Amino acid sequence: MPSDNKPLLILGTGSFAVEIAEVASEIPGVVVAGFVENLDRARCAEPLDGRRVYWIDELGALAATHRVVCGLGTTHRSRFTEQAEALHCEFATLMHPTARVPASSSLGKGTILHPGVIVASHTRLGAHVCVNRAATIGHHTQVGDFVTIGPGVNLAGNCRIGNAVYIGIGATIIDHVTIGPHSVVGAGAVVTEDVPERVLVVGVPAKILKRNIEGK
């Protein structure tokens, strides 16, 4: 959903960042210029998937001419986005051409919708949300910042999803459910009641397996 022709840099150098680059490249008007590393400078020595890898400190000189988006699946990606923000980077919001979002719904900065995602009416996704392949999000649902929604997730209407929640592949959350910040919903779980913050829930129906966690 770019408004100009600024090239895009992907924050991250893992396999998920490479996937994000491919998703972005399929969006008309988006040109992926490279990746950004912030932990191990040695990773900048060689191209990744045919593109240059920049060191985080180089972003300051690129901020005026490039946009960035975070290519990390972890809910702890705020550490990387905060570094980019401190260097005055502008975040892109990406929606694959096969994703669907009605005019009554909104996407925050840095949010990424993969192929086949469907967002229903009057729903708000926060900043830096990653919604993976073929996930569905129901009407009047609120999704916080730094949330990861896995492939094939079915998130029903009138739900409230806290910041930095991770919802695993194929999970189902029924309507009017609230999930507290930093919690994790295991793959294939069926959530039928509210989930407190900082817990791991698994199973059908989902039950608490661990407490005092910090997302995933």
CA distance 71 to 69: 6
> Taking a C-beta distance cutoff of 8 angstroms, is the pair 86, 28 a contact?
no
Q: Catalytic site residue 76?
A: no
For the CA atoms of 86, 112, 128, 216, the dihedral, rounded to the nearest 10 degrees, stands at -120
Annotated active-site residue in 66, 76, 122, 139: 139
Burial of 171: CB neighbours in 10 Å, binned 0-12, 13-18, 19+: buried
What is the radius of gyration, based on Cα positions, of the chain? 17
Q: Name the residues annotated as catalytic.
A: 139
